[in-house]
Every structure is written in structure tokens, then in C-alpha cells.
Amino acid sequence: MTIDARANVYKLSDSDLTVADPAEDIRGRAIVDRAGEEIGKVEDLLIDDREAKVRFLLAGSGGFLGIGETKFMIPVDAITRIADDTVYINQTRERVAGGPRYDPELADETYFNDVYGYYGYSPYWAPGYAYPAYPYYV
């Protein structure tokens, strides 16, 4: 399978880029599901290499000091609001726990398409895709 350039994403922390407004950098904040349960925290932001827009949250859950931690990709489309120390999403903890794991070795259109499909969103390269009004601050 050929890797589609429109589906290449990388960690913000692995780039020279920064968030335009440091107050809007949500890395390190808790992620809370629609029932108010904490899922984990925002480990990093995954951005695409064409538009340099945030496409996924890299969420970390469980483990101790990073050992045994599980990492998930959550589309930014799932964000419902952002508070000072918390990012709220419209998914359940169980849904995220059962979701595709983050694997940088699977960086192709099929993998990203599966992640979007699992959470019920169209991928950002699909016709008519509208970038969410990220972030929603309260």
C-alpha cells in the first residue's frame, strides 16, 4: 500500500512548530469523557504535514511514570470543550479504551481512516470535511 501524503501526521513535540497562543496548548491536560470520567491525559498533538493543523489528540492512559501506559489517537472532532486543565470529548471511556492504539508504524491512509471511522467521523481529507472550531474554550 502506498502511503498517501495527505494522511501523514506527526507529533507537535517532534517538530519546530508551536501553538500560536501558548495558553491554547492543551498538552498535559486531563481528558474527560461525556459522562465526566477521566480517561487519561493529552500526551501530544498530532498534526498533518500539509496544513499543520491538529488532527488527533495523542492520549495516554494507565501505567506508572509512562511504563505500561496505553496510547490512543482521538480525532480533534471529538472535543466538545476545553477548560483550564481539562479537555472534554463526546466519547465514552469504554469507547476510547476499545479504540485503535497509537502506532506510528501504521502511518497510512487506511489506519487513519479506521481511526476516524471507529469514532464516527469522516477523515480530514474527505470531500466536504469542515475543520472543527478547535479549540472550544470555556
For 56-111, write each residue's pLDDT tens digit: 999 988 755 556 678 999 999 999 999 989 999 999 999 998 999 888 887 778 88
- 70's enclosing H/E stretch is strand 70-75
For the chain, the structural domain boundaries read 5-119
Tell me which architecture the domain covering 5-119 has in CATH: Alpha-Beta Complex (3.90)
CA 59, CA 136: separation in Å to the nearest integer? 18
Q: For residues 28 and 40, what is the distance between their CA atoms, to the nearest angstrom?
A: 9
Residue 88's pLDDT is: 96
Give the pTM: 0.85
Phi-psi sector, 137: left (phi>0), alpha (psi -120 to 50), beta: beta
| Greater model confidence, 51 or 42 | 42
